[in-house]
Amino acid sequence: MKPIQSTQYIEIATPADFNYDECLVHLGRSSQENLYRIKKDKVIKLLKINGERVLFQLTAVPGALRIEFPLNAPTLDETEQVVAYIEDWFDLNTDLREFYEMAETDPILNPVVQQYYGLRIIGVPDLFEALVWAVMGQQINLTFAYTLKKRFVESYGDSVVYEDETYWTFPHPETIAVLPLEELRALQLTGRKSEYILGIASMMATGVLNKERLLEEPDMESKLLEIRGVGAWSANYVMMKCLHDASAFPLADVGLHNALKAQLDMERKPTLAEITELSANWSGWEAYATFYLWRSLL
């Protein structure tokens, strides 16, 4: 989508079915989030682009998202990278008509999709961030995962202060790859998770792993599963949130199980075999089905 530019702001056209308010609900799910802030209907975020810190704020206007730069006027390249990041972050380039048509005929998804219509998968465009977040979140509750991420970001990320608030960037893999294991352990990461994160950082810092090449792989899941510390859940989470694979399906996800239990009014969580059967109609859209079911838990 070609952005509209003026001297004060840039606008990115949004799909007709885009619901910014629903996206804000997801973005606001944790008070510990420190990679962006929500102020009423405005999202404020810091990115590091070509070594420079670029702060932008995002609001919705009819048919578009408006981007403003409250600190410094960005270069053309910085502007283009911010636009690309936002399109990726809000999954603006995916046509959801087939998903909505499928959901109309699905007894589980129909009520959920009708209630949250216009919600988009809120992604994690940075591959290193997506992988680290997936590893951090393994086998712990979401609240503690956010605590770990907050410590990690505030220990190794870059920051700027705007209107008495500090805004952070996610640490770069080059910064993390050279750390001693003990530093990550001091954040209350387990030894195993610390090893995994250092390994991922090293792979990305040396260029062995990058998003562009991964997107060209015919079997992204197999490539992700080769990474130490990345299992089926983590691989599908990264495919869903970073690589825009609409068929990614974190089948073992606890949130998915809880949402299905609630939607089906069951006394127990469904088994993996039952979920596989229940999701037969979702083929090609498992990621969006999962994301909408997650939304029902908020």
Distance CA 157, CA 167 (A): 10
Give the active site residue among 21, 88, 253, 265.
Answer: 253
- Residue at token pair 């420190």: 34
Burial class (CB in 10 A: 0-12, 13-18, 19+), 7: exposed
Distance CA 119, CA 25 (A): 9
Distance CA 269, CA 251 (A): 13
CA distances for 156 relative to 149, 152, 197, 220, 257, angstroms:
11, 6, 13, 29, 34
- Please name which of 296, 279, 297, 278 lies closest in space to residue 287, comparing C-alpha atoms: 279
Distance CA 200, CA 89 (A): 22
Q: Is 181 helix (H, G, I), strand (E, B) or coil?
A: helix
Quote the DSSP letter at residue 64: E
Specify whether 253 is catalytic.
yes
Instruction: Report helix angle 232-241 to 286-295, nearest 10.
Output: 90
Burial class (CB in 10 A: 0-12, 13-18, 19+), 234: buried
Q: Is 13 helix (H, G, I), strand (E, B) or coil?
A: strand
CA distances for 25 relative to 15, 22, 71, 195, 237, angstroms:
19, 5, 26, 34, 20
The residues annotated with a catalytic role in the active site are 253
